[in-house]
A = this chain, B = another copy of it.
Amino acid sequence: MCQLLGMNANTPTDVMFSFAGLANRADEHKDGFGIAFFEDRGLRHFVDHHSARHSPLAELVKHYPIKSDNVIAHIRKATQGEVKLANTHPFQRELWGRYWVFAHNGNLKDFQPRLHGAFRPVGDTDSERAFCWLMQELAKAHYSVPSIEELSLTLAELMPQLNAYGTFNMLLSNGQALWAHGSTKLHYLLRQHPFGRVQLQDEDMSVDFAQATTAQDRVAVIATEPLTRDEAWVAFEPGQLKVFVDGLPRP
């Protein structure tokens, strides 16, 4: 299985610390990694079919402070589809003049949806098929980019249809919001004032967020497993869809 990392913030924030925590788990998840950073409507999208532990690209991401308000990262352990660049998450498409980014943890058995719209998979994973189907169904449900509330309602109808095929933990963003669906294993954390020193779960690495933040800053971190010690990570309930905007989950 793979591991997911998402970040949604009210101020452009770097994810060097959280990504280091994720990459540290890449020994077991060695079949590629990817990370996408929204900057307003623009997107940086890095993928590598090497492990996040050894890739020069991962080194860059760990040390180049790319500030973003929506980030989705993924380290892969192949279940369906061979190890190659075209199968590396997150996947990216354009819809309604916005980029959409998607990453999946889990396994959808025998999921061969009818793809009659404008979105076709390039690789051969169940995950990219699920993303193409989601984009197709969103495109059918709305004529142009709807409000976050409306998108959330449509996604809440679509998620169970995918989840029915197996395990479907996923992260999705269009740069305005970040949607997270918990199927079996997903956690989130809200980090806000007062900020303090935080230590990674698996590694002897800590950072004092008080140094780099203001009292107004707010960030939500979503991950397969809690990345840090001594922070209040919340587990998603099975089948729960949450949308994060400006560093907060919407009620």
A: residues with CB less than 8 A from B are 39-49, 56-57, 60, 64, 84-88, 92-99, 117-123, 139
Contacts and interface: CB of A to CB of B under 8 A. Distances in A.
A117 B95 CA distance: 11
22 contacts: A39-B85, A40-B85, A42-B47, A42-B49, A42-B86, A42-B87, A42-B88, A42-B122, A43-B47, A43-B85, A43-B86, A44-B47, A44-B85, A57-B60, A57-B64, A60-B60, A93-B94, A94-B120, A95-B120, A97-B120, A98-B122, A117-B118
Main secondary structure on A side of the interface with B: mixed
A86 B94 CA distance: 12
Contacts of A60: 56-57, 60
The 6 closest A-B pairs by CB, nearest first: A42-B85, A118-B118, A42-B86, A97-B120, A41-B86, A39-B85
B96 A120 contact: yes
Contacts of A49: 42
Nearest to A63: B56
Nearest to A121: B97
Nearest to A47: B44
B42 A45 contact: no
